[in-house]
Amino acid sequence: MDRAEAGEPDPAASQPGVRLLLPSREFLLSRKGLLLLAEAVLSFIIFICFIASKASSFLTVPLLTFLLALCFFFAYSLKLNEKVKATYWLLAHFLCCVVAAIIYFAISIAAVSKYSDGASKAAGVFGFIATIVYAVDFYVTFNGLVTSLKQSDSTEAPGQHQSEDEASDSDSD
């Protein structure tokens, strides 16, 4: 006899609140989901490496990028970017990726060249990998941003072009 016949509720069906907080499988396997997950994992690893190293002054950047990557991960997985229209999510994510890539590149060079302990070297190597991941993410986000801007221009443009055409026709008469 299975649970449905015995009258027992399905444990997965009894917890709809927890299920809403988990990202969907489609998002986890998407390019955006994988990039955000890689950013969060790399930032956490770099944070741990900087804690164990002599270059502990650099640990603020990985901590903040880890928290931002988690925020964007859950925002995109819960589709907050579609629900909250007051924030321009693509632009915010693009700027975050650009700044993170530049700062990770700078602190990775400093960690590798200035400090001689193994944890600093490991943080620097993971920082270079994070720089590449953030650069790929800002390239992908930039393409999405351009596509989004072109679509918004094409939806607004017909009304503007008609009024400009009507104005030019009335001027030529």
Amino acid at 125: V
Closest C-alpha to 81, from 65, 64, 94: 94
Whether 72 has a pLDDT exceeding 60, the answer reads yes
Per-position b or e across 18-39, b if 16+ CB within 10 A of its CB = eeeeebeeebeeeebbebbbbb
117-172 pLDDT tens trace = 999 999 999 999 999 999 999 999 898 888 888 887 777 655 555 544 555 555 55
* Cβ atoms within 10 Å, residue 119: 18
Q: How sure is the predictor about 173, in pLDDT bands with cuts at 50, 70 and 90? A: very low
78-89 pLDDT tens trace = 888 778 776 788
pTM of the model: 0.73
